[in-house]
Amino acid sequence: MAKEIISIIIAALLTENFVMVKFYGICPFLGVSKKVETAMGMGMAVTFVMAIASMITWLVNHFFLQQFNLEYLQTIAFILIIAGLVQFVEMFVKKSMPSLYNALGIYLPLITTNCAVLGVTLLNVQNEYNFFLSFLYGTFAALGFTLAIILMAGIREYLDEKAVAAPFRGFPIALITAGLMAIAFTGFSGFSI
Amino acid sequence: MKGIEVLKRGLITENPTFVQLLGMCPTLAVTTSLKNGLGMGLSATAVLIASNVIISLLRKLIPDKIRIAAYIVIIATAVTLIQMILNAYLPDLASSLGIFIPLIVVNCIILARAEAFASKNTVGKSALDGLGMGLGFTGALCIISAVREILGSGTIWNIQLYGDVIQPASIITLAPGGFIVLGIIIGVINAIKGRHESKAAGERG
């Protein structure tokens, strides 16, 4: 059990990093990675949503959908749960952390359509994780996302756009930067316990 | 606006991938081979047409306040249907696209077209818009996946290209190659667009 837990943590953070290796959550990764501070706020919000969503979807899937042979409704049920959860987080952040709320802007409600969240809930079902492992995988996959977005923001704060050829300014150079970061992450591949 | 213009907008002038920069996750994840790229593009096109038509039909019935939730349920239903069809008739494609089929639900292109077009236009135009945007997405995926397959695996549509003469650079089909190839393609398109615009400005002035 301990070995399984450690290998899930390593895979979620490094070897199968959600952003750098599996391509989930690219939109916020490129959209909110201009400042380290907002990137960290985004990472925390996504971590909260992914951890809770992993638990609730496991309960719904196990005690409701599977009992009545309704597994084909998984996608619809999961996206509704996530949308409700994001609404809740939005109200919470707006009330208790107004400065973070303003910094995240449109990207906060867009967590609903962050494919990392729906992706992790579907992967939990696919990998047949139990309740605890689903929660663990959801949390650490989100922390892997947070790690990638903070690293990216750290690089972009120092990136001098004037030095880049005009057609490559903005989005293209961000993609190429992400590509170079991804090369570093492939260095972890094969690392396991 | 004429039908042909609606189509052309999706294919070229407002191409969802290269111009609007939407739906990046599937764009990067499934473009490892032309077959996958085409399969993903056509599946998303089918979902886009179905959701645009249904949302356009119901646009006067859906209350404004809960419209996003209603759109998501409609899109998720369409995706579930496509997933069942693919599993039944194209199991190979379904297994190689894997989890990215259900993830079409959260492809921003589809929600963006529902909100920006289908909720305000007639059924016929919405269907055409879905077709145009879907084919624009498919075309973009085909270009990216063809480049990555030729450079990364040395094949195109699984046909060997250069035999034993050249060893392909496999990193292009891995994650870093996806980011870098897409970055370079968008940069090149920006450069071509910039040249067109300065030419047009030169002719006018």
Condensed to tens digits (0 to 9), the pLDDT of residues A91-103 reads: 888 898 888 888 7
Condensed to tens digits (0 to 9), the pLDDT of residues B14-48 reads: 899 998 888 888 899 999 999 999 999 999 999 99
Say which residues have a Cβ less than 8 Å from residue B99's Cβ, sequence separation at least 6: A119, A122, A123, A126
Query: Is residue A71 scored above 70 in pLDDT?
Result: yes
Mutation site for A-interface testing, chosen from B19, B25, B68, B71 by largest number of A Cβ within 10 Å: B25
Contact B190 A183 (CB under 8 A): no
Among chain A, residues having any CB pair with chain B shorter than 8 Å are 20-27, 30, 72-76, 79-80, 83, 110, 112-115, 118-119, 122-123, 126, 165-168, 171-176, 178-180, 182-183, 185-186
Task: For B175, name the nearest residue in chain A, comparing CA atoms only.
Answer: A21
Condensed to tens digits (0 to 9), the pLDDT of residues B82-100 reads: 999 999 999 999 999 989 9
User: Where would I find the beta strands (DSSP E) of chain B?
Assistant: 155-156, 159-160
In angstroms, the CA A123 to CA A117 distance is 10
Q: Rounded to the nearest 5°, which phi and psi values hold at B22?
A: -105, 160
Q: What is the mean pLDDT of residues A142-146?
A: 96
DSSP label at residue B120? T
ipTM summary value: 0.90
The pLDDT assigned to B204 comes to: 62
Contact A179 B178 (CB under 8 A): yes
| Tokens read off for A7 | 């290998």
Query: Is residue B205 scored above 70 in pLDDT?
Result: no
Q: What is the mean pLDDT of residues B170-189?
A: 93
DSSP one-letter string for B29-40:
HSTTSHHHHHHH
Percent of chain A with pLDDT over 70: 100
Q: What is the mean pLDDT of residues B146-175?
A: 87
**Residues in chain A within 8 Å Cβ distance of B184:** 172, 176
Q: What is the mean pLDDT of residues A126-154?
A: 95
Percent of chain A with pLDDT over 90: 61
Average pLDDT over all residues of chain A: 91
The pLDDT assigned to B167 comes to: 83
In angstroms, the CA B128 to CA B6 distance is 7
Through-space distance between the first and last CA atoms of chain B, rounded to whole angstroms: 29
What is the pTM assigned to this prediction?
0.91
The pLDDT assigned to B1 comes to: 61
Of A118-127, B119-128, B175-184, B190-199, the one with minimum mean pLDDT is B190-199
Task: For B23, name the nearest residue in chain A, comparing CA atoms only.
Answer: A27
Contact A76 B80 (CB under 8 A): yes
Contact B111, B71 (CB under 8 A): yes
Query: Is residue B2 scored above 80 in pLDDT?
Result: no
The pLDDT assigned to A113 comes to: 83
Dihedral sign (CA A175, A179, A184, A186): positive
Q: What is the mean pLDDT of residues B54-75?
A: 91
The pLDDT assigned to B38 comes to: 95
Contact A75 B76 (CB under 8 A): yes
Through-space distance between the first and last CA atoms of chain A, rounded to whole angstroms: 12
